[in-house]
Amino acid sequence: MGPITIFVVALIFILILTARLRIHPFLSLIGGSMLVGLLAGETEGTMEAIAAGMSSIFAEFAIVVTAGSIIGVILQRSGATSIIADDIIRIFKKPVLALFLLGFMFAVPMMCLILAFIIFLPVAKDLSEKLKLKKGVTEGALALGTMVSFGLIYPSPGIYAFVRDVGLSTEISALRVMVTGVIIAVFVSLVGYLYIMKVFSMKNREDYFRYTAPERDPAVTQVLPTRVACYAPIIIPTILILMRITTHADIFYFIGNPGMALMSGAVVAMVLPTRKFSSADVRAWVEKGIRRSGLVMLDICGGGALGATLALAGVGEALGDMLITSSIPALFIPFLIGAAIQTVQGSRMVTLFVASALVVPIMPQLGLPAEIVLFSMASGTFLISHFNDPFFWILGDLADMETPEILKTYTMGGIVMGLSSMAITSIIYFAFY
């Protein structure tokens, strides 16, 4: 059986398991990895490839994802996220835009767009009820905001993995990835916000209200952290990562590593925002963060296993040869690969890992700058998210949205933003390369 046929069969197999049978993504991905090895006739090397793919992902991302999860849980439980949400809403005075920005800001530091959505969902619901907004508008804005930054901005796990795999280890290259991602994300965010306003038939002037600070119980106010304590766990890792990619100092290369930077943020979170809470509370929050990160790590390790077995079967090279010899412009090949994998297997983080494993081997044939390949591929991961995407059902269950509403808000919103991201990537390529 040829590599392309193996690839298609494996994706259909995973689609059936995840969308039809609702099997957990980790089991589906591992099962798909085993099927790839079996169909490729690599019975001796399959389990070794699965183990190698999982271990490499775990070694690279265990600290990053765990530290980000700990930061997210502590900020939520200590009341820091509530203070940050109030600040953003007071500054912008636009509830839908503010919620979009909340998702945008926190998806990368928390290393999980679903976690960021869950944490700020109570804020979205409260605003929707208080301002009598249409059902789904605030929840949809929050969800799309998390998608943008998580899919485009370094050091989101998928973006960071591509940078690592391609070998963009020099400071200027890493900086270019971050700056380009931010530029694209800003424009895509505007498109996503306007889409939400359009789909819910809201005019811009309707997304405005005179902010009134929420009344809090004095007993609650006494234990809330200061603003320095609220923002420090997010700002400090960001500064360390920026110092690593903008300076040549050895010390910043060490402490600015995403794992080290986020671990520093986790330590700060365990100290500053929690000073008025008991040590037992803090330990419980840390343990919850670790448990949450374990579920995320299972999914992305499964993606690493699938990527490794697909590479073992030669799928990347065969897919690249097929697309390159076709009439499809090279600029759109990574986009189509990312979209195909996201459509079939669902998890956006897993898609970036698997797509990277397929795209990196064919980069010499594409003849494109590495950053353009990255953001073309990342744009493709925005579409098409549907029934096999865990976020699809989380949004429906927690936001009380029916399937047609989710498709209109989340699925179509992702398609619009993905196409917009690809368009901006194309403009950057033709204008600056």
The pLDDT value given to residue 130: 66
Q: What percent of the chain has pLDDT over 90?
A: 21
The pLDDT value given to residue 345: 63
* 215 — pLDDT class (breaks 50, 70, 90): low
Top-ranked range on mean pLDDT: pick from 11-20, 24-33, 412-421: 412-421
Average pLDDT over residues 411-425: 96
* 170 — pLDDT class (breaks 50, 70, 90): very low
pTM, rounded to two decimals: 0.72
Top-ranked range on mean pLDDT: pick from 132-146, 162-176, 181-195, 198-212: 181-195
The pLDDT value given to residue 400: 76
pLDDT digits (tens, 9 = 90+) for 34-55: 999 999 888 888 999 999 988 8
Average pLDDT over residues 299-321: 79
What is the amino acid identity at position 199? V
* 427 — pLDDT class (breaks 50, 70, 90): very high
Mean pLDDT of the chain: 82
Of 165 and 359, more confident: 359
pLDDT digits (tens, 9 = 90+) for 2-23: 888 888 888 788 878 876 787 8
pLDDT at 204 over 70: no
* 216 — pLDDT class (breaks 50, 70, 90): low
The pLDDT value given to residue 387: 67
pLDDT at 214 over 60: no
Q: What percent of the chain has pLDDT over 70?
A: 88
* 375 — pLDDT class (breaks 50, 70, 90): very high
The pLDDT value given to residue 169: 42
pLDDT digits (tens, 9 = 90+) for 376-408: 999 999 988 876 576 777 777 667 777 788 889
pLDDT at 87 over 50: yes
